[in-house]
Structure 1
Amino acid sequence: MSPPQSPHQDSSPVAVYGATGHTGRLVAADLRARGRDVILAGRDAGALKALADELGAPVHQAALDDHDALRELAGRASVLIHCAGPFTHTGQAVARAAAESGCHYVDHALEQHHTAWMFDAMDEPARRAGITMVTAMSFYGGLGDLLAGAVATGMTDVERVITAYAVSGWRLTTGAKKTAELLFADTRRITFTDGARHVGYVEPRNAVFPFPPPLGPRTMIAPVPFSEVVTVPRHVPARRVEAQLTAHTFQEEQAFTSEHVAAATRSGSEFTVAAQVIAGDGGGRAGRASGRDLWRMSAVTSVEAAVRLADGGGPGPGVYGPAEAVPAEAFLRDLERLGLFTLTLPEKP
């Protein structure tokens, strides 16, 4: 058997699959602003050409069922950033193509089952190929995982981790709307309780999360089916992990009817994401990040991860969640310096 193909050198471009969607455009534009070579990829040839004219970058059309085209795309790049959700439908084809071509990979998935599949099915292929694959490097799921990792550093007996999202002004794209519909219709949700992963129907409930002033306590949907239940237990020794979302987020009139609003309107979201880590003795720690425009935050976060991989700064071959792939607190501080949010973390003991 021939040795595994080495990942492409950092002089190779970064490929953005789903480049013509809202997140993909933000990712591609940020890479270009950093002076990085980019390949704009996706399924719609006309939309790709229009974006190429705007950003001055080459295009690569590849349908999800065209495995050869996806492999050719990954073969041209050092890192592939996958932005085209829902990942329930798109994730496996793109991830497999990246591994088979020896290309580092970052995705924006928040879907629990895709994240679990990445760890279960792709870790061995990634190690054989000598590449790093990072899943759930996004706003929902990803920011919560990074905060949990930063807050829980050094804790060895953790009873509970709650990641809580307070979001207002969220305007869903077509892809985000489809993802939300899939997530909330899923009757086989993943939960993490009693130190183990479970799959089955979960009765949602209302909870109150104690956000600090000026936000204050808020009514939450609990649990919400985000990826933290899969990623957080990999690096925090917790017996229970749960994600929550403010109940008013989906009650806002335009949340589900804003697929075609202008980018400037879509950028108006406001958020506070908190991680509460409760120790076995009842003590605990908490941290939070507050900012505007969750779409930009998500896009730049994936770019920061991809640039590190392209420049040889990854954790080594395999599949990783956000807080496994990067040092959580240092990475969050870098994102804060980029103006994505204001960060509050507990004092180191």
Structure 2
Amino acid sequence: MDAPTIAIYGANGHTGRLVAAELLARGARVLLAGRNGAALDALAAELDASARDGAGAVPADGPARVRTRAVSLDDRDGLRGLAEESAVVVHCAGPFADTAVPVAEAAVAGRCHYLDHAVEPHPVKRLFDTMGAAAERAGIVMVPQLSFYGGVADLLAAAVTEGMTGVDRLTVGYSVTGWRMTPAAVRTAELLIGEIDRVTFADGAQRVGPVEIRNTVFPFPPPVGPRTMIAPFPSGEVVTIPRHVPARTVESQLTASTFEEQQVFTSQDATPEERARTEFTVAVQATAPEGGGRNGHVRGRDIWWVGALASAEAAVRLARGEGPSKAGVLGTAEAFPAVPFLRRLEQLGAFTLHL
């Protein structure tokens, strides 16, 4: 039986390259897609050579495991054709406020599962608000923000609150050091920093509107310890977590020191090795209405690779028919059992998990 084909839109970006390598390591065939055909062809030659030399690679005279497709976001027919040839499309080309809808619509039209690496809450909310019924009719699963920001926290929140009948407040704390943004990430950050109307979830309701940005303190476990945080941090899990956690308030926060590091906004030309030096802790604290509560965290290195690893693992499961029993737009923890998925990522070296 032939290995499934998984398309990667935005494949020649940093995240797309990492996703492609992870998929090839799992035996998938990849279809590299994006606007720059020459860059895609160069990447394909590099990846195909590595795949043929690696363990379990197809013979030299076997079918190609890496193909390319140059297609722009305004080419609806081209995007649909991409989806029709694929079992899953992994969307890696941000900012997703601009790019999510065309690729997601093509996935529905082509009856192809869809994953993306969005961090921004608005495009995540838009997929849930507008694409759910269409995805159900097409019989596909769509999981936005299955990446480091968003996806990991969504899984961790489900794992921490498993069995809790009520949660007064769930807080996600991100401690990130050494973050080196890609050009697309810088554009996304600029959009988020300048955003007036933000998505929030408080007192049991989702709202969109102006929000006062404040500093607070989050109690990370040692060795990080309590840190000053930017709150709220605009990440998409504020949309997904309330779908499966009975929380009155959900908020994400990011260490204030993250954006104080000089290289964050000036590292567009950083090497892959430099980008891999990020260190992180993602922690979830869930307080119960009657007092007390639970917490858990993951700790690791290289947020880019962890996000790519998570989406590659999910894409292969969907392509093999090992996804959720229901179709539609789902959060990461709705699509995959939280603790087993986190344990699998831990086994693959993404982080250490503490529950």
1:75 paired residue among 84, 87, 92: 84
Of 339, 349, 352, the match for 1:339: 349
Deviation at 1:180, TM superposition (A): 0.8
Q: Does 1:51 align with 2:51?
A: no
Residues 1:62 and 1:293: Cα distance change in structure 2 (over 3 Å): same
**In the TM superposition, what is the alpha-carbon distance from 1:128 to its structure 2 partner?**
0.6
Q: So what's the TM-score if we normalise by structure 2? A: 0.94
1:150 paired with 2:179, answer no
Give the AA of the match of 1:327: P
Question: By how many angstroms is 1:11 displaced?
Answer: 4.1
Residue of 131, 134, 138 corresponding to 1:122: 131
- Residue type of the partner of 1:308? R
2:274 aligns to what?
Answer: 265
Matched, 1:326 2:318: no
Instruction: Please name the residue that 1:302 is paired with.
Output: 311
SS at match of 2:286: strand
Counterparts of 1:14-163 in structure 2 under 5 Å? 14-56=6-48, 57-163=66-172
Distance 1:236 1:12 in 2: 33
3-state SS of 1:258 partner? coil
**Separation in 2, partners of 1:12, 1:139:** 24
CA distance in 2, matches of 1:68, 1:188: 33
Residues of 2 paired with 1:100 and 1:327: CA distance?
27
The one-letter code matched in structure 2 to 1:29 is: A
Any idea what SS the aligned residue of 1:250 has?
helix
Q: Residue 208 of structure 1 aligns to which amino acid in structure 2?
A: V
TM-score of the aligned structures, taking structure 1 as reference length: 0.95
Amino acid of the structure 2 residue aligned with 1:201: P
Unaligned runs of 5+ in 1: 1-8
Equivalent residues of 2:108, 2:134 under 8 A apart: yes
Inter-partner Cα distance in structure 1 for 2:266 and 2:2? 41
CA contact 1:12–1:76 (8 Å) conserved in 2 = no
CA distance in 1, matches of 2:84, 2:2: 13
Find the aligned partners of 2:124 and 2:322 in 1 and give their Cα distance.
22
Q: Deviations over 1:115-170 (max 9, x none)?
A: 11111111111111111111110111111111111000011111000000000000
Q: 4+ runs of 1 displaced by more than 6 Å? A: none
Instruction: Tell me, yes or no, if the aligned pair for 1:163 and 1:273 is still in contact at 8 Å.
Output: yes
8 Å CA contact 1:85–1:179 kept in 2: the answer is yes
Displacement of 1:212: 1.2
The letter for the 2-side match of 1:257 is T
CA deviation profile, 1:32-58 (whole Å, cap 9, x unmatched): 112211000011111111101101211
How far did residue 12 of structure 1 move? Answer: 3.3
Identity of aligned residues (%): 58
Distance, in Å, in 2 between the alignment partners of 1:102 and 1:137 is 19
- Per-residue CA distance 1:51-95 (angstroms, 9 max, x = gap): 011012110111000001100100110000000011000000000
The aligned residue for residue 313 of structure 1 is 322
CA distance in 2, matches of 1:342, 1:61: 38
**CA separation in 1, counterparts of 2:2 and 2:301?**
32
Q: Which runs of 5+ in 2 are unaligned?
A: 49-65
* 8 A contact 2:114–2:143 mirrored in 1: yes
Instruction: Name the count of aligned residue pairs.
Output: 337
Are 1:222 and 1:244, in contact at CA under 8 Å, matched by a contact in 2?
A: yes
Query: Residue 239 of structure 1 aligns to a residue in which SS?
Result: strand
Q: In structure 2, what is the Cα distance between the partners aligned to 1:142 and 1:189?
A: 19
Query: Structure 1 CA distance, aligned partners of 2:304 and 2:94?
Result: 14
Q: What amino acid maps onto 1:51 in structure 2?
A: L
CA distance in 2, matches of 1:328, 1:55: 31
Q: Give RMSD over aligned pairs.
A: 1.0
SS at 2:44's partner residue?
Answer: helix
Distance (whole Å) between structure 2 residues aligned to residue 241 and residue 276 of structure 1: 10
CA contact (8 A) 1:110 1:142 kept: no
Check the 8 A contact 1:10/1:311 in 2, yes or no: no
Secondary structure at the aligned position of 1:58 is classed as strand
Partner of 2:242: 233
